Structures are given as C-alpha cells and as structure tokens.
Amino acid sequence: MSGFSLSDLEKIVAERGSQGDSASSWTAKLFSAGIDRAGKKLGEEAVETVIAAVRGDRAELVSESADLLYHLLVVLAISGVPLSDVLAELERRTARSGVAEKASRAGA
C-alpha cells in the first residue's frame, strides 16, 4: 500500500487545472468547462457509486469511489475550497460528537 493521499491528488488537480493542456488533461478540460460541467460529473459519479454499492459490486464500488473523490477534489478546487477546510469541518464534528458522547455517558 502506497502513502498516496487525497492531499497528493489535490496538488495534482491544482497543477493540472492551472497549467494543464485541455487536449491531454481531463482535469484541465473540466477546469476550462467550469463548475456546471464539473458539478454534473460529480453528480454522475455519485449516482454510479451508489449503484455499485447497492449491487454489491465491490470492484466497481472501489473504482466509482475513486472517480467520485477525484471529481469532488476538482469541484472543490474550481470553487476555491481547500481540502483542509473540509477536513477541519470533519474534525470539528468529531470533536463535537466526542463531547456529546461524554455528556450522554455522564447522564446515563
């Protein structure tokens, strides 16, 4: 297993999106097409991911999930939202749920 992360992919997306050639780079093509086209692709990949999950097709679920995460990073990049903002929001929720859990344990 490599140490490849969403943060690594975010960097590739940013680089291709700003400097890539639309003829050879899908990322550059999506950046020039804009948020409507990139958002549509994200929606399609989300639906394809759900279909794979409901069918119980594990290999397809892995493949569609990769498409989904990639297209989410493209939409975030076009929108000027860094992945770290999303992770910070997830971290805040985790911290909140930790507090809620302790409070409910104390009340039990």
Ligand X SMILES: N=c1c2ncn([C@@H]3O[C@H](COP(=O)(O)OP(=O)(O)OP(=O)(O)O)[C@@H](O)[C@H]3O)c2ncn1[C@@H]1O[C@H](COP(=O)(O)O)[C@@H](O)[C@H]1O
Q: Which is nearer to ligand X, 79 or 97 (CB)?
A: 79
Q: What is the DSSP string of the chain?
A: -----HHHHHHHHHHHHHH--TTT-HHHHHHHH-HHHHHHHHHHHHHHHHHHHHHT-HHHHHHHHHHHHHHHHHHHHHTT--HHHHHHHHHHHHHHHHHHHHHHHHH-
Q: Which of residues 20, 31, 76, 83 is near ligand X by CB under 6 A?
A: 20
Site string for ligand X, 44-83 (x = CB under 6 A): -----------------------x--x-------------
**Minimum distance from residue 63 beta carbon to ligand X (Å):** 9
